[in-house]
């Protein structure tokens, strides 16, 4: 896979996640019925992009295993969310928290790999990894937050994930060996 293709895929995934995040935040009261679907589709797309980029460029990217692990977990969790929408509606804060924690930790670990490689801007990945992990833990500690608050939090998370994906696209030329 060329550097340009991976950059474009990451940026497209980021834009999709940002649009999904804005959709969640725009009408939080009405989102209760659509939240599992939007959340599941956004997760699925993000995970597939990570897996495709790994499959096409793992020989040329530094520490690409984190992209694969994040992608596989995201796709598996998205399948669960999409197949069990009623259950997901009832437990979305826990499912959301699991995804946030794993995704945040993987981005945090990846940021230290970027630092070792001398990539400028690695601190952004560190900061976003910490924010994602903290929000994931908060999702577990306050599981019965109001639906509108949850829609805002999920919208914010999708915006953050989108930002990380766009940053990956912007910095991806530095990730290739």
pLDDT beyond 90 at 116: no
Q: Is the pLDDT confidence value at 23 over 70?
A: yes
Q: Say what the pLDDT of residue 177 is.
A: 43
Domain count, the chain: 1
DSSP state of 142: S
Indicate which CATH number applies to the domain containing 131.
Answer: 1.25.40
pLDDT for res 63: 63
Does 68 score more than 50 pLDDT?
Answer: yes
Residue numbers of the domain that contains 118: 3-174
Q: Name the DSSP class of 176.
A: B
Q: pLDDT tens digit string along 118-162?
A: 878 888 889 989 988 988 888 777 766 655 577 787 788 788 888
Whether the CB-CB separation of 4 and 48 falls below 8 Å is answered with: no
pTM for the whole thing? 0.57
pLDDT over 60 (residue 1): no
């Amino acid at each position: 896979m060329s550097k340009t293709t991976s950059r474009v895929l990451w940026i497209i995934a980021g834009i999709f996640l940002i649009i999904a995040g804005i959709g969640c935040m725009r009408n939080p009261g009405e989102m209760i019925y659509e939240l599992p679907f939007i959340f599941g589709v956004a997760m699925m797309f993000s995970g597939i992009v990570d897996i495709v980029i790994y499959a096409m460029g793992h020989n040329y990217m530094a520490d690409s295993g984190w992209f694969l692990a994040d992608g596989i977990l995201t796709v598996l969790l998205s399948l669960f969310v999409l197949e069990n929408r009623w259950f997901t509606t009832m437990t979305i804060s826990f499912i959301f928290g699991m995804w946030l924690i794993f995704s945040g930790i993987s981005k945090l670990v990846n940021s230290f790999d970027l630092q070792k490689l001398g990539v400028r801007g690695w601190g952004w990945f560190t900061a976003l990894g910490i924010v994602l992990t903290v929000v994931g833990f908060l999702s577990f500690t306050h599981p019965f937050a109001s639906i509108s608050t949850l829609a805002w939090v999920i919208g914010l998370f999708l915006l953050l994930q989108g930002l990380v994906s766009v940053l990956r696209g912007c910095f991806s030329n530095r990730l290739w060996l």
